[in-house]
Amino acid sequence: MSSGVVPASMPEITSGRPTARRFEEKVCVVTGGASGIGRAVVLRLAAEGARVAVLDMDLAGARESLELAGGETTGLAAEIDVRSSASVEAAAGLVKGQLGNADVLVNNAGIEILGTIDEMAPDVWDEIMAVNLRGPYLTSRIFLPQLLARAAERGGAAVVHNASLMGLVSSAGLAAYCASKAGVVSLTRSMALDYAKQNLRVNCVCPGIIHTPMLERRFAMQPDREQAYRDTSRRPPVQYIGRPEDVAASVAYLASDEARFVTGSALTIDGGVGAA
Ligand code: NAD
């Protein structure tokens, strides 16, 4: 796939070698950490000193992310299915037992299935909601005691949901995905209000088009769409497709104490698409 034109003068994201160490002594949990944006988040948080729990349905991929982040001294890799209470409970127990209570939860796991509502059978709709919306609810709910304990002990803890620009605006042929991500934006605001007094901040990122395996799968199904990006007609205003590190940098900011006065916000990372 063409990842879009990257201008020669583009500033580099310092993922993997940032100067800040904002997560020293902190335990950060990342769902969907085996691939794409989740892997970039794992690398970024680990590079800033975090002990990271890389959780994913894809255990081999989660292990690979942990290895890239520095290996077992950096944290742990474990299997999770965010649709299942039992699976999330087991992962939360593992994190608490091996790393201690979570300071940061990044709800990143997600799926995209194309279709208008007439094309989409109810079980496919339910599947998207189960992963993209019920998943962040369930994972937040199960990690909540750990996060609140840390917030009480250290003065703050944070949840960052990975929503999407599609949670703020919509795109044709993507009804369930857009609805699920709009739900995540709303969940962000509700959780922010519900736990603000307990020093738990809750924000979400709303990425636009980002070059990950999810996008490659989409372009494989819609070659005309990829061609449109190649021809520049659909490129974001900045003229290139975003990279996982672009999202990871914003997730790290929202998860860090630098964002101590930021809660309930939805940060777009979209090269200007949402402004149009
Ligand atoms: P990806 O497919 O590369 O990674 C998603 C990861 O989630 C995979 O490792 C997968 O195994 C995991 N996962 C899927 N279902 C799971 C489940 N039930 N339990 C646990 N793990 C599960 O995709 P990505 O592009 O990196 O997407 C990450 C997040 O970013 C998603 O929530 C996606 O909706 C969101 N997002 C992506 C884009 C984009 O353009 N790529 C844009 C906006 C938002």
User: How far is ligand 1, taken at its centre, from the CA of residue 95, in Å?
Assistant: 21
User: How far is ligand 1, taken at its centre, from the CA of residue 56, in Å?
Assistant: 10
HSE-up (13 A, CA, CB side) for residue 126 = 3
Model confidence at 114: pLDDT above 60:
yes
212-229 average pLDDT score: 89
The closest-lying atom of ligand 1 relative to the alpha carbon of residue 36 is 26
Q: Is 108 in the pocket of ligand 1 (CB under 6 A)?
A: yes
Does residue 225 contact residue 217 with C-beta atoms inside 8 Å? no
Confidence of residue 122 (pLDDT cuts 50, 70, 90): very high
Q: Is 212 in the pocket of ligand 1 (CB under 6 A)?
A: yes
Is 27-208+243-268 assigned to CATH 3.90.1210.10? no
Confidence of residue 15 (pLDDT cuts 50, 70, 90): low
Choice among 7-16, 63-72, 111-120, 217-226 with the minimum mean pLDDT: 7-16
Model confidence at 229: pLDDT above 90:
no
The closest-lying atom of ligand 1 relative to the alpha carbon of residue 163 is 44
Q: Residue 239 region, left (φ>0) first, then alpha (ψ -120 to 50), else beta?
A: left
Q: Write down the pLDDT at residue 170.
A: 94
Mean pLDDT of the chain: 94
Q: Write down the pLDDT at residue 35.
A: 98
Model confidence at 16: pLDDT above 60:
no
219-233 average pLDDT score: 83
Q: Is 36 in the pocket of ligand 1 (CB under 6 A)?
A: yes
Does residue 251 contact residue 106 with C-beta atoms inside 8 Å? yes
Q: Is 131 in the pocket of ligand 1 (CB under 6 A)?
A: yes
Residue 135, C-beta contacts closer than 8 angstroms, at least 6 positions apart? 31, 82, 83, 107, 109, 110
Confidence of residue 222 (pLDDT cuts 50, 70, 90): confident
User: How far is ligand 1, taken at its centre, from the CA of residue 146, in Å?
Assistant: 24
Choice among 10-19, 47-56, 102-111 with the minimum mean pLDDT: 10-19
The closest-lying atom of ligand 1 relative to the alpha carbon of residue 209 is 40
Q: Is 33 in the pocket of ligand 1 (CB under 6 A)?
A: no
Report pTM.
0.95
Model confidence at 17: pLDDT above 70:
no
Query: What is the helix (H) or strand (E) element at residue 180, kind and residue range?
Result: helix 175-195
Kindly report, residue by residue over 157-166, the tens digit of the pLDDT. Answer: 999 999 999 9
Does residue 225 contact residue 183 with C-beta atoms inside 8 Å? no
Our mutation pick for probing the ligand 1 site, out of 1, 80, 89, 111, counting the most ligand atoms within 8 A of Cβ, is: 111
Is there a catalytic annotation at residue 177? yes
Q: Is 156 in the pocket of ligand 1 (CB under 6 A)?
A: no
Model confidence at 69: pLDDT above 80:
yes
Q: Is 82 in the pocket of ligand 1 (CB under 6 A)?
A: yes
